[in-house]
Chain A
Amino acid sequence: MSTVMDTDTDTAVDGAAGGSVAITGREKRLLRHAMMPHMLCPGCGHGIVLDAMLSVLSERYENLDNVAFVAGIGCSSRIIGYIDACTLHTAHGRPLSFATGLKLARPDLTVVVITGDGDGLSIGGNHLIHAARRNVDLTCVLLNNEIYGMTGGQAAPTTVLGAYTSTTPLGNTQHPFDAAELAKAAGATFVARSQSYRPQVFGELFSQALDHVGFSFLEVMSDCTEYFGRINRFGEGADMLMGQARYEPSIDADLARIPTVEPVTIKQPVRPVLPIGVLHRSSRLTLEETLGIEGGRSSGVAGGKVDDAVQRMNG
């Protein structure tokens, strides 16, 4: 599986590298080297998220044969093409539906869904709330760059008030979704938010989301430099990334303190200060458990009666 990659990595690393370790802990054996460099624009936050994700996966897994990445359509969903795992590139907005089917058929797999704000909240908004409601045992990572990047910078349901996009040339007049609150209300049992500016925080939260049994929802605030940043004059990739440092007070030692949200006025596109860290954690029976499918992880919640009821119904 990884023989080709090893040779590629060796040419890059050999020589003086003996006995030293990479500071990121990122192992490039998990990358599809034939696909690199990736197609993301210069300075795109999604690349940082992919990078941090690989660091976590390098720590946790020897290889990714039992990890499935499912994604829809969009810049964010495109990043699964660079991970050397079982990857499933599906219809626009429907990665969670495909992932639900995959998880029920193969409960032994670790299923991770990568989706974007357009893919997961507008076109696939229904699928998101129902996957959360069913509490399927999978991890959903939503990369929120507040715009439709791949199709030319149209306004997304997460675009902040007053922001300029190609479909809101006079400033956005519609309130954005709070994706994390939406998932929490819909029944997700693990809800967290991170930023591309803090890859280590993201890594920690991603690791916790993978550990959690049930529907884990992780929103990552990312940057679209070419469309969102350019049209709103947020500067280049580095400027946008450093702009995320405004979230500094929201970081707490336990990653769970929730700060106040600043009000945003129209005609002044300012990205809101959003809470970061673990926002919600609970335990419920997963869909596999209520269906009586064996081979998955146990949520540890008492609830055998549902299994019995299903069996009684089946006669």
Chain B
Amino acid sequence: MTVKTIDQPGKLVEQAGDSKEANEPAVSQGNLVLAGVGGQGIIMASNIISLACLESGLDVKKSEVHGMSQRGGTVVSHVRFGHEVHSVMLEPKQAEWIIGLEWEEGLRFLEYLKPGGVAFMSTERRIPPTAFADRLGGKIDYALGAGVPRGVVPVDTYAVAGEAAAERPVIAQTVLLGALSVDMGLSQETWREAIAATVPPKAVQANLIAFENGRAWYERWKKTTGSKPGSSIKANDIQRPEGVSPGAFRAGGFNGPDVSVKDWRGGMPRIEVLRDWCKGCNICVIVCPERVLSLDRFDIVVASEPDRCTACGLCARLCPDMAIEIWVDTPAHAGTGGE
């Protein structure tokens, strides 16, 4: 029934000294669905969950669907754990938890959620390449404004991760695991060991910070909302850490302007970035001799030091996505602009 099935007594002692977590009833069986798009760490997150369960002496079965996922395709992973697990796949309305690393992908798999279950979903959007065309006119309306479905806990993962997100762009999965760990009840130490054993060595510290932040965030969230995820939540209720306003979040994110145009100041080159076309390959950032460009936290190029631009055009010519263009004044118009 509980984690007492662990046959390592030392671990139980550690767990007992782990303050309040040890008092929470542990879960001895459960089902999870993890959904998102390729590159977000879904497989890694399911590996961490599986490892944590195995370390706790539980049987785990995991099944995942992926392929062509490097190009933004869907990835979904089913994880089942318990004293003995027979089937690897879930049927709809069987999952106690859903981890949605991408908002729409999470919504797509909501049918797997058991009544009373909790879906931890990142508010991050990754529009698949086939739908990119619609982004040109900014036509996609984000469903957050329409409220949040029952059972869903929306998590602004990048904001919750805080400093860890600045260090490691692929961090959302650990934030959600932190939130999940509050409900799943395995010992914190087991989780931390599973994370340390799974993520690349240089990313361990950032992931552990993100895990703690996610865990703390969800505990606070449960207190303030009375632990009832679901229909009563509006978009404005999504909590962000202090100092991060919704406006600031939008300005750097996907709700920003399609085209960032530097103001025309007589004779200066003007950098035009098509945010929708940029895939964040970092080529322009590397080749720019003046270090004008940088990637924002969504891996999209921004002209962070536009004053230094000398209009050499390397970034524009070497951009595989044609997302950058440098505009310079023609001689005929040179005098009419700034002076």
**Residue in A15, A21, A34, A51 whose CB lies within 8 Å of B261:** A15
Chain B CB within 8 A of A37 CB: yes
Q: Which residues of chain A in 192-247 are interfacial with respect to chain B, using CB atoms and an 8 Å cutoff?
A: 197, 199-200, 225-226, 236-239, 241-242
Nearest to B322 among chain A residues (CB) is: A51
Binding stretch for chain B, among A38-46, A108-116, A138-146: A38-46
Nearest to A203 among chain B residues (CB) is: B317
Contact status B318-A199, CB under 8 Å: yes
**Residue in B129, B132, B325, B330 whose CB lies within 8 Å of A19:** B330
Contact status B274-A12, CB under 8 Å: yes
- B259 smallest CB distance to A (angstroms): 5
A24-B325 in contact given A16-B270, A43-B282 (Cβ < 8 Å): yes
Nearest to A36 among chain B residues (CB) is: B277
A226-B70 in contact given A23-B311, A199-B318, A238-B285 (Cβ < 8 Å): yes
CB-CB under 8 A from B264, the residues of chain A are: 16, 20
Contact status A44-B270, CB under 8 Å: no
Chain A CB within 8 A of B219 CB: no
CB-CB under 8 A from A47, the residues of chain B are: 319-322
Contact status A225-B270, CB under 8 Å: no
Contact status A13-B272, CB under 8 Å: yes
Nearest to A197 among chain B residues (CB) is: B318
Contact status B277-A37, CB under 8 Å: yes
Contact status B320-A43, CB under 8 Å: yes
User: Which has the most chain A C-beta neighbours within 10 Å: B129, B274, B276, B320?
Assistant: B320
**Residue in A39, A48, A54 whose CB lies within 8 Å of B129:** A39
B290-329 contact mask (Cβ, 8 Å, vs A): 1 or 0: 0000000000000000000001010011111111011111
Chain B CB within 8 A of A59 CB: no
A167 to B321, CA, bound (A): 29
CB-CB under 8 A from B235, the residues of chain A are: none
**Residue in B259, B317, B326 whose CB lies within 8 Å of A200:** B317
- A81 smallest CB distance to B (angstroms): 13
Chain A CB within 8 A of B279 CB: yes
CB-CB under 8 A from B242, the residues of chain A are: none
User: Which has the most chain A C-beta neighbours within 10 Å: B264, B319, B321, B337?
Assistant: B321
CB-CB under 8 A from B71, the residues of chain A are: 39, 41
A78 to B136, CA, bound (A): 21
A16-B261 in contact given A21-B327, A23-B313 (Cβ < 8 Å): yes
Binding site for A on B (CB under 8 A): 70-71, 129, 132-133, 136, 258-259, 261, 263-264, 269-270, 272, 274, 276-277, 279-283, 285-287, 311, 313, 316-323, 325-330, 332-333, 336-337
Q: Can you give 6 A-B contacts (C-beta < 8 A)?
A: A16-B261, A20-B264, A28-B322, A37-B276, A43-B281, A197-B318
